[in-house]
Structure 1
Amino acid sequence: MAQTNYNDLEALKIAIRIEKRGEAFYSRATSLTSNKDTKAMLEELSVQEADHASTFQKIYNELSEKKHEFDDLYLYEPEVAAYLRAMGQAAVFPSDERLKEIMEHVVDIKEVLKIGVQAEKDSILFYTEMIINARYVEAKDAFRKLLKEEKKHLIDLQTKLNSYIYKS
């Protein structure tokens, strides 16, 4: 399978799922800190992840309406869909079931921030791959926009994590 033979619609569905998982993660994480600044940052990240999911959903809906313009030879190839699903499942934010399990064992906000940092790094890799391989301008533009925001999330989380590490 050539690396460029994948489905932009499938990639957008995965991106929607990633962003919804991010929203759930940051939303649940707010209860683990009493620090107002950290709580506000996590709440804002949750809102931004929800906005990202909404953005991707809108683009997905627009591209779905243009399905007839897609190259049917690569659309929904089983290998392609499996590859993208594996990327989405293996990386970024945990599934709902796994999130419950993780949050039960998280003892402090530093752990939450470390998980967030790694998830943002993984999302940066995923969106970079999508920019490189997306065939449709709308999809590429959305991935570029979100890539910039994910980089900002990474910086914010790492800065906050560093402030906790250097306090202790």
Structure 2
Amino acid sequence: MFSFAEVLDMAIRLEKNGERYYRNAVEQLQNPELCHVLLRLAEDEVEHRDWFMELKQAHFEATGPPDPLEIEAGELLQGIVGSQTFSLDEVDPREFDTPEGILLAAVGFEKDTILFYEFLQSFVTDPETLENLRMIIEEENEHVKILEEQLQEYVAP
């Protein structure tokens, strides 16, 4: 079983990867409206990352720093996450020829992130933290909705 801090590290990495993906996608696109949407999503990812970082800091303040074995296990877990498609660590928006491809990859990322955060809820016992995590899950669900709406603009009727 992974420690709470390790799971938070994964969440931080997911948010960083999502932000990077959206910002890189903007460089590939010509549609100003879509670029604006993706930049807004990137900013949401920054806010989520910052919240997870604050949560991790508060966790360490309450429990003390991790022992060296926990750090090593966390690094191993990060390596595993980095090799999974849901991290978007391996996906570069330049690999897609169309906005549809960029949007489809983003929808998949957001859906996988939601699944991960639903899993993360099982680690959380503090009611306020759990409520904040639920709000992030709602925001990620909203990201899916926004991306799917954008995707509809590119689908032939």
Same fold by TM (over 0.5)? yes
Displacement of 1:132 in angstroms is: 2.7
Contact 1:14-1:85 within 8 A present in 2 as well: no
> In the alignment, which residue of structure 1 is the partner of 2:23?
27
Matched length: 155
Displacement of 1:162 in angstroms is: 1.4
TM-score (norm 1): 0.78
Name the CA distance, whole Å, in 1 between partners of 2:70 and 2:144: 32
Contact 1:18-1:88 within 8 A present in 2 as well: no
- Structure 1, unaligned stretches of length 5 or more? none
Name the CA distance, whole Å, in 2 between partners of 1:80 and 1:53: 17
Displacement of 1:133 in angstroms is: 3.5
RMSD: 2.7
Structure 1 residues 82 and 133, CA gap change in structure 2 (3 angstroms): farther
Displacement of 1:141 in angstroms is: 3.3
User: SS of the counterpart of 1:76?
Assistant: helix
> In the alignment, which residue of structure 2 is the partner of 1:149?
139
1:65 to 52, 61, 68: 61
Same amino acid, percent of matched pairs: 25
Displacement of 1:34 in angstroms is: 1.6
Q: What pairs up with 1:125-136 in 2 under 5 angstroms? A: 125-136=115-126
> In the alignment, which residue of structure 2 is the partner of 1:9?
5
Q: What pairs up with 1:1-168 in 2 under 5 angstroms? A: 5-68=1-64, 76=70, 86=80, 89-95=83-89, 98-99=90-91, 102-137=92-127, 139-166=129-156
Displacement of 1:137 in angstroms is: 4.2
Name the CA distance, whole Å, in 2 between partners of 1:121 and 1:51: 18
User: SS of the counterpart of 1:107?
Assistant: coil
Displacement of 1:29 in angstroms is: 0.3
User: SS of the counterpart of 1:6?
Assistant: coil
Name the CA distance, whole Å, in 2 between partners of 1:76 and 1:43: 35
Name the CA distance, whole Å, in 2 between partners of 1:109 and 1:86: 29
Name the CA distance, whole Å, in 1 between partners of 2:18 and 2:123: 23
Deviating beyond 6 angstroms after TM superposition, the runs of 4 or more aligned structure 1 residues are 77-81
Displacement of 1:16 in angstroms is: 0.5
Contact 2:15-2:45 within 8 A present in 1 as well: yes
TM-score (norm 2): 0.83
